[in-house]
Structure 1
Amino acid sequence: MNILQYEFVQNALTAGILLSITTGIIGSLVVMKRDTFLIGGIAHASFGGLGLFYFLGLDPILGAFSVALAIGGFIGINNEKQLHTHNALIGVLWAFGMSIGIIFITITPGYAPNLLTYLFGDILTITRGDILNIAIYNIILFIFLFLFYKPLIVYLFDKEFAALHGIKVKLYRLLFYIFIAIAVVLMIRSVGIILVLALLTIPPLIVLPLFKRLPMVILMSILVSLVIFIGGFFIAYYTNLPTGPIIISTGTVILLLVRLVCLLKKKNS
């Protein structure tokens, strides 16, 4: 029987293709800027909003979005040097968000949801509405990059140089972290809060030893993300294992193999 005839499979694969674009672009920029720890903080702190909104009887994903957007905005409007010297605070927000989310879900009367769905995701639960949201996000991201690619890249690589040349550093920093925050929430259904950080960083880490120019890193990261999503999905489907962890495990295996091959080539050269 052809599994592609099922709507939930079609939704999962469509979402995987669209999220490959999201992760390829955002992940490459995050890794190049070395902001992965802050992204982990956004992802895990958003669980607090998820739990709060579940307690209030509202859409949990909307709660995660609200907190992620608030933290992304907070990071964006503050001085980067101060933020990087307070990584411990980000770690506290990371732990607090997870803790308060679990507390709210636990004290909510009635049936408690399966936390694993939120923590590790399930791309099979993706809806047409989710797909539309991801598509709209990608369109806005493409438009933004088309219009402001050069000043954004200058900001990411050299803030002082950007400021000297009249680039609005504070504005680009704010927009950058807002885009990241939204991307994090869009990925929760597919791989969960815990695995979002891995999904954003694995594809560019695979590509970086092979390509150095940012446009090629982004393009190849998108292709690698697509392989990870599609390959992980089919492995999970036919082995009856959870999709989120399998997708991340597939990417990790590819990453280790690429790094091993590069290491062997370096030793033999």
Structure 2
Amino acid sequence: MIEALGFEFFRSALLAGLIASVICGIIGSYITVKHMISVAGGISHAAFGGIGLGYLLGIDPLAGAFWFTLGIAALIWGLVERAKEHIDTLIGAFWAGGMAFGILCLALTHGYTPDLFSYLFGNILLVTPGNLMTISLLGICIVLLFLILYPVLQALAFDPEYAAISNLPTRGLHLLVLVLIAVSVVVLIQVAGIILVIALLTLPAAIVRPFSKTLKGMMIGATAISMLLTAGGIFLSWVFDIPSGSTIIMLGVALYLLTVGGTELFQPVQRDMQEMS
């Protein structure tokens, strides 16, 4: 496996995966604590509508996905904050509607239509220097934003009522988080694909949550787990000549199931020990 590091495309893929892990570890931890996982999934799938619209209009599909996804994020925010619509219903509508709209746009596009799997599952082994630069800039921005806003975001995550009483800009911060999810999804689609982005946003945070006492610790742990899954999946895909995205996802699912199973088995033993003491 070490000889794989001699190839530039492999090193680029590994670096992209590690940077993506930082982005998803930070945002994924926050949306897990805030019970916004369905929001991330809905926005991710809605981005497919923007990709299809881009092809239909003859523009860069990722540019179409960028503006379309930002619009969806703003629409979700407006409906939840102003109309007080139930967010689960909204996400279901945007999840299904975005995918259907994208497929419809692709069906109406004349000439070449892309392979849908390239956007759903991506190919991290085909990352370009331009992709690396974009992901790196996004990673730096997200790290700086969360470092600066961490106390406020922590209050909003664990005690939204206190945050509102304290006159914190809760509505603006909610919009900021939705925008960060949208931008991260679009940037990472070109490298990882929609399905892998959702997996990296949800699985690492879910794995470390039972063992994390603080949001900061959860972010660090989720980032580390995501890096482990990404690096392991890329190496396994190289060794066995299998799709990297699917390998990373299956590793994450396996580790999550082991964690859940281990936690369920450990809790009765822990209670018995406490009773005996």
Instruction: Sort the TM-score into its range (normalised by shorter chain).
Output: over 0.9
Q: Does structure 2 conserve the Cα–Cα contact (< 8 Å) formed by 1:17 and 1:226?
A: yes
Give the match for residue 221 of structure 1: 222
Q: Does structure 2 conserve the Cα–Cα contact (< 8 Å) formed by 1:76 and 1:175?
A: no
C-alpha distance in 2 between matches for 1:56 and 1:5:
41
Instruction: Specify the SS of the correspondent of 2:211.
Output: coil
Give the match for residue 176 of structure 1: 177
| 1:79-118 correspondence to structure 2 within 5 Å | 79-80=80-81, 85-118=86-119
Give the letter for the 1:171 counterpart: G
C-alpha distance in 1 between matches for 2:81 and 2:198:
20
| 1:44-123 correspondence to structure 2 within 5 Å | 44-80=45-81, 85-123=86-124
Give the match for residue 250 of structure 1: 251
Instruction: Specify the SS of the correspondent of 1:219.
Output: helix
C-alpha distance in 2 between matches for 1:7 and 1:238:
17
Give the match for residue 266 of structure 1: 267
Cα deviation for residue 78 of structure 1 reads 4.2
| 1:165-244 correspondence to structure 2 within 5 Å | 165-244=166-245
Q: Does structure 2 conserve the Cα–Cα contact (< 8 Å) formed by 1:75 and 1:174?
A: no
Give the match for residue 138 of structure 1: 139
C-alpha distance in 2 between matches for 1:195 and 1:84:
29
Q: Does structure 1 conserve the Cα–Cα contact (< 8 Å) formed by 2:124 and 2:191?
A: yes
Q: Does structure 2 conserve the Cα–Cα contact (< 8 Å) formed by 1:190 and 1:244?
A: no
C-alpha distance in 2 between matches for 1:81 and 1:265:
44
1:99-119 alpha-carbon deviations (Å, 9 max, x no partner):
121122233222321111111
Cα RMSD of the aligned pairs, angstroms, is 1.8
Give the match for residue 21 of structure 2: 20
Matched, 1:159 2:160: yes
Cα deviation for residue 136 of structure 1 reads 0.9
1:156-205 alpha-carbon deviations (Å, 9 max, x no partner):
22222112112111111111111111111122133322342222110011
Q: Does structure 2 conserve the Cα–Cα contact (< 8 Å) formed by 1:122 and 1:190?
A: yes
Give the letter for the 1:227 counterpart: L
C-alpha distance in 1 between matches for 2:163 and 2:254:
38
Distance 1:93 1:10, change over 3 A: same
Q: Does structure 2 conserve the Cα–Cα contact (< 8 Å) formed by 1:77 and 1:170?
A: no
Identity of aligned residues (%): 38
- Give the gaps of 5 or more residues in structure 2: 271-277
Distance 1:234 1:199, change over 3 A: same
Give the letter for the 1:194 counterpart: I
Q: Does structure 1 conserve the Cα–Cα contact (< 8 Å) formed by 2:21 and 2:200?
A: no
C-alpha distance in 1 between matches for 2:188 and 2:59:
19
Q: Does structure 2 conserve the Cα–Cα contact (< 8 Å) formed by 1:65 and 1:185?
A: yes
| TM-score (structure 1 length as normaliser) | 0.93
Cα deviation for residue 264 of structure 1 reads 2.0
Larger radius of gyration: 2
Q: Does structure 2 conserve the Cα–Cα contact (< 8 Å) formed by 1:30 and 1:36?
A: yes
Instruction: Specify the SS of the correspondent of 1:209.
Output: helix
| TM-score (structure 2 length as normaliser) | 0.91
Cα deviation for residue 57 of structure 1 reads 2.4
Equivalent pairs counted in the alignment come to: 269
Give the match for residue 34 of structure 1: 35
